[in-house]
Chains A and B, each alone.
Chain A
Amino acid sequence: MTTTSSPAPTTTSTLDLAGVSRWYGNVVAVNDVSMSLGPGVTGLLGPNGAGKTTLLHMMAGFLAPSRGQVTLDGLPTWRNPEVYRRLGLVSEREAVHSFLTAHEFVLATAKLHKLPDPQAAARRAIAMVELEGAQDRRIGTYSKGMRQRARVAASLVHDPQVLLLDEPFNGMDPRQRLHMMELLHSLGDAGRTILFSSHILEEVEQVSGTVQVMVAGRLAASGDFRTIRRLMTNRPHVFAIRSTDDRALAVALMAEPSVTGVELGRDGLTVRAGDYGAFTRVLPKVALARGVRVRQLLPEDESLESVFSYLVEA
């Protein structure tokens, strides 16, 4: 499978949120969120009801913040249609003009953007999502995943520097999902600012190392999820270790202050360490001193799932 990459943007864009809150009556949907999104792919992660969609709508200029400001390259996104020259949105709602073909739909979008060559732009965008074969069929006849791709093509037709996607993998089959992931990667690598929301950890883990984690309307964590995990010093880090002498290594490790627990099993050791850095520095020294060869060292809870569950439980 190939991914048709788009040309790299001549400039990059930054989306900034400064103290953004949004409430509906007494319900606070988004609470004092500040972040700055630059080039690359960022995952907006959170359980249902965390405020992801509300946040995306404010970023896209479809909702006024109750407090704070959302700006794209210094310009407010609210009540400012000019930002759509640089910004594309794929909303969660599956609304598409079902009476149009994908080609008509994407071409109409190109014309609405007043692009100099709308036909060429439409062709390029449709090729990016691999929808050429079905582009002359009415969108109403499409599967959920194909409709989603048509919407992505329309949002990419003006080659935006910033692309916001709300649950973009919904309804896609594994092949389409993989293709979409490749597309987002290539867009991010080309210097575009890509933010996609998801409540499915695997999706975020596969597409992006950088996450913004929303929990109950607040930004619970921000950055590379592996780094976030290492900063959670109150949670022991779990490592799976295999060595030439697991029992001897277990005894030696128990004497180390950075180790809080050791479990000896058939398949090796499970070590809990309070301090990630200290443990990874001390392990080779201990093994060397005892003449034990470490065959395998795997951090067991550095997955996004672990980080996420810790944050949600906190």
Chain B
Amino acid sequence: MSTVSWITARGLFGRRRFLLLLPLPVLLVVLAVLSRGLGVAPSAWGPPVLVGLGLAVVLPVVALIVGTGVLGAEIDDGTVVHVLTTPLPRWQIVLPKLAVAVGATAVTVAVPLFAAGLLADSVRLGLALAVAASIGALAYSALFVAASLLTRRPVLLGLVYVLIWEGLLSNVVTGTRVLSIQHYVIALADRLAPTNLLDTTVSVPVAAVMTALVSVAFTLLAVNRLRSFSVAGETS
């Protein structure tokens, strides 16, 4: 583990905001267990729990908390200056932080999604959801890490994307789904384990290409922004 990853992980898991990650995955598993235990048909509880909660809320919200936590929190409290006053090329700072964000998000989201997919249908669906969510964690994390360097309010920007763009617009205006990470994840999961529980209009090639594009583009943007990082304008 690199020193940047080590400091990032210590910072992430040492802050109280990490506790915010736990309720949503627990809720996902509890709802899946209850639905299964009460004998509700998977076709009735699967889509709202797996997609409506798991992929549309748990994945992006966890990615948002973690993604803005690995860099945005350090920018907020000023500790990022300690890492930046070293001769490390800026990509050697962004990539380890991104890796920690992806890893933490993937573990937090993939495990409950696997359990929920297993309870709804099969091991294959559970694995498909876990793998697709991990791929989605990469794209979301790249987006939110870059957002930390684009604005002083990355959480707000992230919430607007998740709630307004993905939650509202992509359900009303189908064309916007091409720019929705949530729909890439659904398309990839459906490709890995075809069921009638997942439904999307984005094709698998588009989902794969766009996921890669979003991940690479926002990572490069983050590296470039970090090269020009300015300390907030204090004039004392």
Write the residues of chain A forming the contact surface with B, with a CB cutoff of 8 angstroms: 24, 27, 29, 48-49, 51-54, 57, 60, 62-64, 79, 81-85, 87-89, 91-97, 99-100, 105, 108-109, 111-114, 151, 154-155
In chain B, positions 1-39 with a C-beta closer than 8 Å to chain A are 3-4, 6-7, 10-11, 14
* Contact partners of B7 in chain A: CB under 8 A: 97, 100, 108
The answer on a CB contact under 8 Å between B233 and A29 is yes
The answer on a CB contact under 8 Å between B88 and A53 is no
* Alpha-carbon distance A93/B233, docked complex (angstroms): 12
Segment of B75-83, B114-122, B174-182 in the binding face? B75-83
Distance in Å: Cβ of B106 to nearest Cβ of chain A: 23
In chain B, positions 180-236 with a C-beta closer than 8 Å to chain A are 227-231, 233-236
Distance in Å: Cβ of A13 to nearest Cβ of chain B: 15
The answer on a CB contact under 8 Å between A89 and B85 is yes
* Contact partners of B81 in chain A: CB under 8 A: 62, 89, 91, 93, 95
The answer on a CB contact under 8 Å between A81 and B235 is no
In chain B, positions 142-182 with a C-beta closer than 8 Å to chain A are none
The answer on a CB contact under 8 Å between B11 and A85 is no
Flag whether B124 is at the interface (Cβ < 8 A): no
A-B contact pairs, 17 of them (CB 8 A): A29-B235, A54-B235, A57-B230, A57-B231, A60-B85, A64-B228, A79-B227, A85-B87, A91-B78, A95-B78, A95-B81, A96-B79, A97-B11, A105-B82, A109-B82, A112-B83, A114-B87
The answer on a CB contact under 8 Å between A97 and B10 is yes
The answer on a CB contact under 8 Å between B87 and A81 is yes
Distance in Å: Cβ of A283 to nearest Cβ of chain B: 43
Write the residues of chain B forming the contact surface with A, with a CB cutoff of 8 angstroms: 3-4, 6-7, 10-11, 14, 77-79, 81-90, 227-231, 233-236
Distance in Å: Cβ of A219 to nearest Cβ of chain B: 15
The answer on a CB contact under 8 Å between B87 and A84 is yes
Chain A residue, CB-CB nearest to B77 = A95
- Contacts A24-B233, A92-B234, A100-B10 given; indicate if A113 touches B87 (C-beta within 8 A): yes
* Contact partners of B14 in chain A: CB under 8 A: 99
* Contact partners of B79 in chain A: CB under 8 A: 95-97
* Alpha-carbon distance A304/B14, docked complex (angstroms): 46
- The B interface, classified by DSSP as helix, strand, loop or mixed, is loop
The answer on a CB contact under 8 Å between A88 and B87 is no
Contact of B6 among A60, A94, A108 (CB under 8 A): A108
The 10 closest A-B pairs by CB, nearest first: A95-B78, A99-B14, A112-B86, A93-B78, A62-B231, A111-B3, A95-B79, A29-B235, A84-B87, A53-B234
Contact of B235 among A49, A64, A85, A108 (CB under 8 A): A49
* Alpha-carbon distance A97/B229, docked complex (angstroms): 19
- Contacts A48-B236, A97-B7 given; indicate if A81 touches B78 (C-beta within 8 A): no
* Contact partners of B84 in chain A: CB under 8 A: 62, 81
* Contact partners of A93 in chain B: CB under 8 A: 78, 81
The answer on a CB contact under 8 Å between A112 and B10 is no
Pick from A57, A64, A96 the residue with the most CB of B within 10 Å: A57
* Contact partners of B77 in chain A: CB under 8 A: 95
The answer on a CB contact under 8 Å between B230 and A54 is no
Contact of A112 among B3, B11, B78 (CB under 8 A): B3
Chain A residue, CB-CB nearest to B14 = A99
* Alpha-carbon distance A57/B234, docked complex (angstroms): 9
* Alpha-carbon distance A85/B88, docked complex (angstroms): 10
Pick from A52, A79, A81, A155 the residue with the most CB of B within 10 Å: A81
* Contact partners of B90 in chain A: CB under 8 A: 81
* Alpha-carbon distance A151/B78, docked complex (angstroms): 12
Contact of A155 among B11, B78, B85, B236 (CB under 8 A): B85
* Contact partners of A109 in chain B: CB under 8 A: 82, 86
The answer on a CB contact under 8 Å between A84 and B233 is no
Distance in Å: Cβ of A207 to nearest Cβ of chain B: 19
Contact of B233 among A54, A60, A100, A108 (CB under 8 A): A54
Chain B residue, CB-CB nearest to A97 = B79
Distance in Å: Cβ of B9 to nearest Cβ of chain A: 11
Pick from A29, A87, A89, A97 the residue with the most CB of B within 10 Å: A97
The answer on a CB contact under 8 Å between A91 and B235 is no
The answer on a CB contact under 8 Å between A81 and B88 is yes
Distance in Å: Cβ of A167 to nearest Cβ of chain B: 8
* Alpha-carbon distance A62/B84, docked complex (angstroms): 9
The answer on a CB contact under 8 Å between B231 and A99 is no
Chain B residue, CB-CB nearest to A48 = B236
* Contact partners of A54 in chain B: CB under 8 A: 233-235
* Contact partners of A94 in chain B: CB under 8 A: 78
* Alpha-carbon distance A91/B230, docked complex (angstroms): 13
- Contacts A63-B230, A97-B7, A99-B10 given; indicate if A88 touches B85 (C-beta within 8 A): yes
Distance in Å: Cβ of A280 to nearest Cβ of chain B: 39
The answer on a CB contact under 8 Å between B236 and A92 is yes
